[in-house]
């Protein structure tokens, strides 16, 4: 399946977690599914929601693990093993409290940086070398304990920027798919405002 790719959004299942900062990965893949006209279905053998689409002659799976964040790797491994996908064909979209809201950072690999979802994926895939798109959600000034923050929803002053971030992150994920990681990194990494302006100038 040389033309098959997987884009995984990380988050927690359940209505109480919808639109929280920690679920921004879900929001990005849902934005892609909406744009591509792809419908979601729960696939119990993977413990994940999947949507299927085609872009520029490529087949793409969108996935939302239903394992809860800390066990995301179980679902990612199940999908990648079933479809015989190499880690380089798997893009993981994840929230990052160490990046300010409005910043995107796509990398071909690297450490989990303390993110339990990425730690689980690294454990189950047996490698750090898989692409990940970190979506900045910011953190409370001076706060060390961030659980309440990441599980909270964006405030009224943040909501408009957060929606724009999700839209641009979805565009970056699509660029990774159709143009390759280097192009997607150079075009979109940085603050969302810069990415929007850069795309207008081209």
Q: What are phi and psi of 39, to 5 degrees?
A: -105, 145
d(CA 74, CA 125): 9
Does residue 113 come out as left (phi exceeding 0), alpha (psi in the -120 to 50 range) or beta?
left
Cα-trace Rg, the chain: 16
User: Helices marked H in the chain — which ranges?
Assistant: 24-36, 72-82, 116-125, 147-150, 159-179, 181-188, 192-201
CB–CB of 172/184 below 8 Å? Answer: yes
Q: Which residues are catalytic?
A: 22
Instruction: Tell me: pLDDT of 75 over 80.
Output: yes
pLDDT band at 106 (very low <50, low <70, confident <90, very high): very high
Average pLDDT over residues 44-68: 96
For the chain, percent of residues with pLDDT exceeding 90: 72
Q: What is the pLDDT of residue 158?
A: 81
Please give the domain boundaries of the chain with CATH numbers for all domains. Answer: 4-201 (3.40.50.1470)
């Amino acid at each position: 399946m040389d033309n098959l790719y997987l884009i995984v959004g990380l988050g927690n299942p359940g209505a109480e977690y919808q639109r929280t900062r920690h679920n921004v990965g879900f929001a990005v893949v849902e934005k892609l599914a909406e744009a591509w006209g792809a419908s979601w279905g729960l696939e119990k053998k993977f413990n994940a929601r999947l949507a299927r689409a085609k872009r520029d002659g490529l087949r793409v799976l969108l996935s939302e693990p239903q394992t809860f964040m800390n066990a995301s790797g179980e679902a990612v491994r199940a999908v990648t093993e079933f479809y015989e996908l190499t880690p380089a064909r798997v893009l993981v979209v994840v929230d990052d409290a160490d990046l300010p809201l409005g910043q995107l950072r796509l990398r071909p690999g690297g450490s989990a940086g303390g993110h339990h979802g990425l730690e689980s994926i690294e454990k189950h895939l047996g490698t750090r070398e898989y692409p990940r798109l970190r979506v900045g959600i910011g953190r409370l000034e001076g706060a060390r304990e961030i659980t309440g923050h990441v599980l909270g929803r964006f405030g009224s002053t943040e909501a408009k920027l957060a929606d724009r971030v999700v839209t641009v992150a979805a565009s970056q994920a699509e660029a990774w798919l159709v143009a390759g990681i280097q192009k997607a990194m150079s075009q979109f990494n940085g603050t969302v405002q810069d990415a929007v302006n850069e795309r207008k100038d081209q």
